[in-house]
Amino acid sequence: MSRPSDPQAKPRLIEAARRVFLERGLDRAKVEEITREAGLSKGAFYLHFESKEDAFKEILSGALAELSVELARIEAVRHEVTSNFEEIIDGWLAKDQAIFECLWKHRAIMRLVLDGGGSPDYQHLIEIFAESAERTTERLVRIGMERGYYRDDVDPKVAAAFCAGGYDRLARQLVRMKKKPELKVWLTGPQRICIQAFGTPAFRQAAENVHRSVLAEPERAVS
Helix ranges restricted to H, 41-84: 42-48, 52-75
Task: Give Cα separations from 65 to 59, 103, 106 (angstroms).
Answer: 10, 11, 11
Residue pLDDT tens, the chain, 223 long: 344 467 789 999 999 998 898 888 888 889 999 999 999 999 999 999 999 989 988 998 888 899 889 888 887 776 666 789 999 999 999 999 999 999 998 888 888 887 654 556 677 778 888 898 899 999 999 999 999 999 999 999 999 999 999 999 999 999 999 999 999 999 999 999 999 999 999 999 999 999 999 988 755 454 4
Domains of the chain with bracketed CATH: 1-49 (1.10.10.60), 56-222 (1.10.357.10)
Task: Give Cα separations from 106 to 100, 129, 170 (angstroms).
Answer: 10, 15, 15
Three-class SS state of 182: coil
Helix ranges restricted to H, the chain: 9-24, 31-38, 42-48, 52-75, 85-105, 107-116, 120-146, 156-174, 183-186, 188-198, 201-222
- From CA 11, how far away is CA 16, in angstroms rounded? 8
pTM listed for this prediction = 0.82
Q: How many CB atoms lie within 10 A of CB 145?
A: 18
DSSP string, 141-156: HHHHHHTTSB-TT--H
Nearest to 31 by CA among 15, 61, 51: 51
Residue type, 50: E
